[in-house]
Amino acid sequence: MQDAVASEDEDTWGAGWRILAMVFSVAVLAVGLPGALLLAVSDTGRSQGWTITILIACWGGVRLSALWVSGIPKLFDFFFWLYTYIFMGVAASVQMRSNDIAGTTPGMSPSLDLPTAYIVLLGVVCYEVGRGLWMFFGQRHTETRLRPSGISGVRAGLLFLAGIGLAGYYLSKVGLGVAFVSRDSADQIVTAAWGEPAVRALIGALSIYPILVATGAIGQLRRGLPKGDPGRAGLGLLVLAGIMILMVVASPISSARYTFGTVAFAILVYAGITRTRARARMAMGGMIAAMLFLFPIADAFRRDVVDLDPRSGFFSEYAGNADYDSFWQIANAYSFSISDSMQPFRQILGSLLFWVPRSIWPDKPTDTGIMLADFRGYSFGNLSAPIWAELLVNAGVIAVGVGFLLLGPLLASMDRRMVPAHYHGGWWGLLGAILPVYTLILMRGSLLQATGALVVALGCLFWVRKTEPPNSGLQAGLRSQPY
């Protein structure tokens, strides 16, 4: 049986096909799309910041091409570059050249464009340097042992029941109909139920991640049973029930796209979309296409007011689009970091102590996106706070360099451990289904809202974990990877 599985995972693409695909992908993502941007979007003379962000897009296209063509699911690195390529490369370049910036961040001074672009570039370069150093020195260790870990069936069952209860509590407060209303209406209903943003984010996480983790854990347990075992049918029904609950509490109609995307991608990984090289290529290539072509228009029919105005072209979807406010929020964070308002490490303290009620800590920091909106006097506060911005408001530009220098090795280390887990499954496979795609949410921010959900997800993951005997563990390293 093991030989059959191994043979199934043999790469169906030879070296020639991989080279051809790499050349084609680089031609499209790193050359064609940036080149088309320069031709289609006229430079209004706002600033020269786009000259830096277009280079980031070019390099991001190369990195994304190498990742998806390889078929090796290094998903932490993949989602880092997917976010950077689109939000810091393509979208930022379009908005600067057209002088049509995100509508939720008005009044941005052009003098901030170039410094902000250099700050983004600093983070990218430090990420690559840190990752490169880790890969160079890490290759001396031919094998890295994962601590043998399985899944506890009893704990998975208890978590499943708890997840049903928590989802039921959430729906009892907002109503079952919240899954079928517009995104705007859903936000109003949830805000009315829980006014504090941090509490709202935590309750939302508790309604989703316990049932998401439990569903994946039960799916992994089912995968471990031999074909023909009567228990497979019962576990399969539980998995289907879990997915149905998730489609309500993380509705594709009313939930945030990042939330639904995290749930949907995790379910696909549970189903084995990254188990072979061929499937991993399809998953990563499909994700690139979805983020480029579907994400900008995904909210068109999920709002109270449906925008049916025709766009003049592909790049016009990025011009003025509030979904791509990340670059401008970094600019706001830079302004904040050099102002008298900055208090070092105050925001990160609020994120770490997200669980402390505001009644106990009245001066508790608000969400960084809201804090920056208040700093600029915006009337709209639901803004992003990318990791660049979080580092800036806590310790300035130096923190960006140091933070990304550490982020590179961290994600590289996680990828090295997760790659074989996508093939072997078990608890590490469960971890690899949820955490990498959550990188998108962490990259966009804000950290205060993302931290609560991350802690809930990690708590659920460690709850279902079961330590196995040492001789049953996986060896995660270059020699043991089946890819």
* pLDDT tens figures, 294-330: 877 666 555 555 555 555 678 988 999 888 999 999 9
Q: Which domain holds residue 434?
A: 145-274+404-477
Cα distances (angstroms) measured from residue 224 to each of 220, 229, 417, 419, 425: 6, 10, 20, 19, 9
Which is higher by pLDDT, 358 or 190? 190
Q: Is 143 helix (H, G, I), strand (E, B) or coil?
A: strand
387, 450 Cβ separation under 8 angstroms: no
Q: What pLDDT band is residue 111 in, cutting at 50, 70 and 90?
A: very high
Whether residue 25 is contained in a domain is answered as no
Number of domains the chain contains:
1
- Which residues pair with residue 465 across a beta bridge? 151
For residues 451, 323, 285, 483, the Cα torsion angle rounded to the nearest 10 degrees is -10
Find, among 429, 446, 439, 447, the residue nearest to 407 by Cα: 439
Is the residue at 442 inside a domain?
Answer: yes
With respect to residue 446, please indicate whether it lies within any of the assigned structural domains. yes
Percent of the chain exceeding pLDDT 70 equals 89
- Taking only the tens place, the pLDDT of each residue in 23-44 is 999 999 999 999 999 999 999 9
Q: Would 289 be classed as within a structural domain?
A: no
Within 8 A by CB and 6+ apart from 282, the residues are 273
Residue type, 321: N
**CA 166 to CA 123: how far, in whole Å?**
39
Q: Which 3 state secondary structure label does DSSP give 104?
A: coil
DSSP type of residue 365: P
Task: Give the pairing type, strands 149-151 and 465-467.
Answer: antiparallel
- Contact 466/149 with Cβ under 8 angstroms? yes
Cβ distance 179 to 259 under 8 Å?
no
Q: Is residue 172 part of a domain?
A: yes
Residue 95 pLDDT: 97
pLDDT digits (tens, 9 = 90+) for 171-227: 999 998 888 888 878 888 988 888 777 778 889 999 999 999 999 999 989 888 888
pLDDT for position 140? 57
When mean pLDDT is compared over 103-107, 182-186, 420-424, the highest value belongs to 103-107
Separation CA 177–CA 23 (nearest Å): 48
Confidence band (pLDDT; 50, 70, 90) for 122?
very high
Residue 390 in any domain: the answer is no
pLDDT over 70 at 464, yes or no: yes
Please list the residues that pair with 476 across neighbouring strands.
144
43-52, 102-111, 377-386: segment of lowest average pLDDT: 377-386
Spatial separation of the C-alpha atoms in residues 351 and 367, rounded to whole Å: 8
Whether 243 is in a domain gets the answer: yes
In a domain, 14, yes or no: no
> How many angstroms from the chain centroid is the CA of residue 475?
27
